Structure 1
């Protein structure tokens, strides 16, 4: 029998929703808060739960949002869950210094393919916000978008952390702003995409992507980073086989200055692509293993490129 619960709540101070049970499906929680120093907690952690829907809509300063859709107990199931968080500005005010944390996990062994298809969507307008997403097992999706007031302008000094353990996960991060930090960690056959620009360009952002192999044969991780701006740092580490790193800095005809990117690939059949349009940029590629290929294209003045390859049938272009 399907258990369907819907909870709608508007609050100005604290909101807490917990739906624990041995088996629960199709629960929905919607919480809206407008103000400062509010706290939202939604827990949907049945041992055999699926199809949960958690929505939090927050406006204000120094708010905290915590969503837990999963159960760390042995042999639990958590799948087809959806978490959606909006931290938005209103005219004449700003949303800043908010903390958002989303957990979608369980402990069912990977071979059962049960812990699948969890989605996490976070949209933030404002500065100095923290976003953290943790998803376990297969076919999960994480999307984070950070911008300025009412979706335009810049969102600055934000921190985004995404941890995905399992196969076929996707992480998407789009930031319009400066001095933001993005860290994405994945393993086995996953894809990460990060795009950063600003109100004109993005300045002094840091992107770190780490992708590691698992025991699954033929695994292939892919990392894409697209940045327009100055003094940004991009680091991609891929340990495994069949990996691809693609970094694009600058726009055609518009310079991006003093950016640095580094790629480390350890394994087989790795490919690294780096394109830079601008001056005073630095590219560094290390590849250990077989069948490695590095393409580095720099357009501008006073750029440097360093490529180190240790393996068979390597190529640099």
Structure 2
């Protein structure tokens, strides 16, 4: 059962006391809009019954050097601290249920640490300045909606934010981060964990997410900047990582998922020299990525059953690598438009399907100097390679190796100077064409080499042009080879 979890922004403090109602209005921007079933104290309309201790403190220092340590024990406690100045130290400890820490800091070099032990606790930090350190530790045994929440809004450079949540249902939101060289580290242990980065703007930011549980989710809504690094590790079931928008150059994304029903999805990456690496180990995994730019690198590794991959790009000099080990895997690599791309695909198992499309979906665009290497091992494997069907594409290298039975290859290349090498080992392998469609290689000075070892193999044909170099080798029984040149 999937629970709807949302934060009510304006009610953050209205739920606490009239004395901090004005702050709640100012903090509305720091909250998500739809967290209706959240049970932490940040989202409650009424505070939890019990002790209702309140601490409100404002520190202002031109010289800096303020220090505060506070401990609250019980239920529904509030700590509201505003710090203006530099080099301030703030430590908050809250034990119990329904406690809230509201921290507003303006200045540089501040150190803030708060620990909350219990259920339905909330921590909200608004930080403006450089080289600040924020540490949030929340622990509790709540499950099924009994959760702790931490929310950060950061503006500045060189800030270090560490959030540790354990043993229950937890939510962490970095709603707005503007600045460079910021570090965000999140560790979540237990069940029903979620981490959301709403907006990250700046360069050289480092984000590390570690989650442990069966309902983990990690979402990056918007990342703008260069040389940013995102690392995510999820262990459990039903994990999801979504990067909705990334704009910039030399960004690095490293996703590791272990469990069942894992998913990585991206709407659009835009930039140059970005690196994306996704490793999934489990069943029913899915990978998707769309990129606009040049010199990008993609690595998708899946180990399990029912895996699917999609990698698409508009640009030149991109590298695609997809490795699938298991059954019923499907890989779709689409280079919408570009040249000098390298594509390497390895599939091992049964019912593997691979589609490689260059100049897709507008196949009137040319695509030159691409290198495609495909290895399939198993039964009922299929490969379809399409490189332009209107405007000629030239000097492409396509290597296909299939080992198994009932393997099929569908080729469509139009252009000159292309080199195609096919190796099939097993029985009932096909290289289609003519009545079965595809296997159309049009242009001049193409090189085609097909080697089939086994029984019942078939090579039909195509080719249209001059100066073609064709080599067909068949070893076994019931082989048929038909080549037509015009």
TM-score computed with the length of structure 1 as normaliser: 0.83
| Secondary structure of 2:372 counterpart | strand
Residues 4-51 of structure 1: CA distance to partner in whole angstroms, max 9, x if unpaired? Answer: 11111112312211012xxx2211100111111101111111244741
The partner residue of 2:135 within 27, 34, 41 is 41
Moved more, 296-305 or 123-132: 296-305
Check whether the contact 1:15–1:31 (CA below 8 A) recurs between aligned residues.
no
Structure 1, unpaired ranges of 5+: 71-76, 90-94, 107-114, 149-154, 214-218, 251-255
The partner residue of 1:9 within 103, 115, 130 is 103
- State the structure with more CA Rg: 2
| Cα distance between partner residues in 2 of 1:87 and 1:14 | 19
1:78 equivalent to 2:168? Answer yes
Return the offset for 1:243. 0.3
The partner residue of 1:313 within 372, 380, 384 is 380
Return the offset for 1:184. 0.4
Could you say which residue in structure 2 is the equivalent of 1:176?
247
Aligned length: 274
Residues 111-143 of structure 1: CA distance to partner in whole angstroms, max 9, x if unpaired? Answer: xxxx12x21011311000000111112121101
Check whether the contact 1:8–1:30 (CA below 8 A) recurs between aligned residues.
yes
Structure 2, unpaired ranges of 5+: 1-47, 50-96, 360-366, 385-486
Could you say which residue in structure 2 is the equivalent of 1:110?
none
The 5 A counterparts of 1:20-59 are 20=117, 24-48=118-142, 50-59=146-155
Check whether the contact 2:180–2:204 (CA below 8 A) recurs between aligned residues.
yes
Residues 76-114 of structure 1: CA distance to partner in whole angstroms, max 9, x if unpaired? Answer: x412x210114533xxxxx000000111113xxxxxxxx
| Cα distance between partner residues in 2 of 1:180 and 1:4 | 39
Could you say which residue in structure 2 is the equivalent of 1:248?
312
| Cα distance between partner residues in 2 of 1:119 and 1:298 | 37
Check whether the contact 1:196–1:227 (CA below 8 A) recurs between aligned residues.
yes
Check whether the contact 1:182–1:208 (CA below 8 A) recurs between aligned residues.
yes
Once superposed, which parts of structure 1, at least 4 consecutive aligned residues long, lie more than 4 Å away? none
Check whether the contact 2:219–2:242 (CA below 8 A) recurs between aligned residues.
yes
The 5 A counterparts of 1:154-233 are 155-173=225-243, 174-187=245-258, 188-198=260-270, 202-213=271-282, 219-233=283-297
Could you say which residue in structure 2 is the equivalent of 1:269?
328
TM-score computed with the length of structure 2 as normaliser: 0.55
